[in-house]
Amino acid sequence: MAKEHRKMDVVVIGAGMAGLTAALYAGRSGRSVLVLESELVGGQIANAADIENYPGLPGVDGGKLISAVQTQAENFGAVVDEFDPIVRVVLSAQPKIVETEGAVYEAGSVILATGMTRRKLPLKEAGRYEGRGVHYCELCDGQAYAGKTVAVIGGGNAAVDAAEYLSKLASKLYLIQRSELRADAAAVKRLREHENVEILLHTEPRALSGDKRLTTATLFDRKTEATRELPIDAVFVNIGVEPNTALFAGQVELDAAGNIVAGEDCRTNLAGVFAAGDVRTKEVRQLTTAAADGTAAALGAVKYLRSQSK
């Protein structure tokens, strides 16, 4: 059966802070807006239990914050669809084509706000233990390890936040980082206050083992070059993120790391196509800068649509 064609002024791809802020601004400008998300609405902050650095909302829950932004966008007419994955985009055409499993959208402008996804643990056996001791969602899977020994791998803010959340469930928590911690000092200080937390710096996992489930991590100390076996029930991986741009590769300009090349105005090399949030080339990737990008991209898209209708 042929897919239905639908016209939209703006299609936003990605429903994190950048995408939903863009939808809010474009909707408030009177434009028809569709937001498509194939993973989690909220992106990376959907997993954040306690956000300390969003101005005006200290300690806000990531899920609640993003839900409020979604409601704001929907109140201005934006539609958010998180159950219709994209299969193809054509960004150089006018109108632009965004084809999902269920429909073909013809869009005057497209805002790319696909953000980042967590990097997988680069050990060949990690996939075998995924869901059985190797995990990527603390809030979903942490409860299974109440009273057990777990490790968080990574040293950025997300890793330290995950470690703090899990330290309240686990009997023993290791934070394993291959170099120094990169997280904010306040978050590290708070984590160190938990007596069941042990931080292993300059240490990296070299192998995982166990019969049906993970039971042991082999750790390598990069300073002493010593190897040891750590009995462990689970590792939660937070070793950084990578841009979600595979869908646009070959169409929109990407830098060597896969980020979409765009400046502060969020314009890409393609007319009418904007990049917003963490997926854009930029120095600082924060929730606040994602919201700022969403604003700039939406207002740029509205201006572009106005120029096209003259």
Partner 1 sequence: MVKVYSMTSCPWCVKAKKYLESKGIEYQNLNIEEDEAARVACQQLSGDLMVPVITANDKDYVLGFDKAKIDTLLGIAG
Q: What residues line the site for partner 1 (CB under 8 A)? A: 40-42, 46-47, 49, 61, 63, 82-83, 101, 131, 137, 139-141, 143-144, 146
The nearest distance, CB 305 to partner 1, in angstroms, is 29
Nearer to partner 1, 137 or 246 (CB): 137
266 assigned to active site: no
The nearest distance, CB 128 to partner 1, in angstroms, is 16
Nearer to partner 1, 41 or 252 (CB): 41
Nearer to partner 1, 143 or 224 (CB): 143
Nearer to partner 1, 62 or 243 (CB): 62
Per-residue tokens: 86: 């994209």
Nearer to partner 1, 79 or 90 (CB): 79
The nearest distance, CB 244 to partner 1, in angstroms, is 17
Q: What string of DSSP letters covers 227-281?
A: EEEEE-SEEEE-S-EEE--GGGTTTS-B-TTSPBP--TT-B-SSTTEEE-GGGBS
Q: What string of DSSP letters covers 171-196?
A: SEEEEE-SSS--S-HHHHHHHHT-TT
Strands (E), 56-148: 79-81, 86-90, 96-100, 103-112, 116-118, 134-135
Nearer to partner 1, 75 or 227 (CB): 75
Crossing angle of helices 185-192 and 157-167, in 10° steps, is 20
The nearest distance, CB 129 to partner 1, in angstroms, is 13
The nearest distance, CB 141 to partner 1, in angstroms, is 5
Element (H, E) at 200: strand 197-200
Calpha distance 151→172 (Å, rounded): 8
The nearest distance, CB 203 to partner 1, in angstroms, is 27
| Amino acid of residue 298 | A
Q: Are 6 and 104 in contact (CB under 8 A)?
A: yes
- Active-site residue (options: 50, 61, 81, 141): 141
Question: What's CA 294's distance to the chain center, in Å?
Answer: 15
Instruction: Give the closest residue to 2 by CA, choosing from 108, 98, 102.
Output: 102
Instruction: Give the closest residue to 231 by CA, choosing from 163, 141, 151, 134.
Output: 151
- Active-site residue (options: 137, 161, 211, 293): 137
Residues known to be catalytic: 137, 140-141
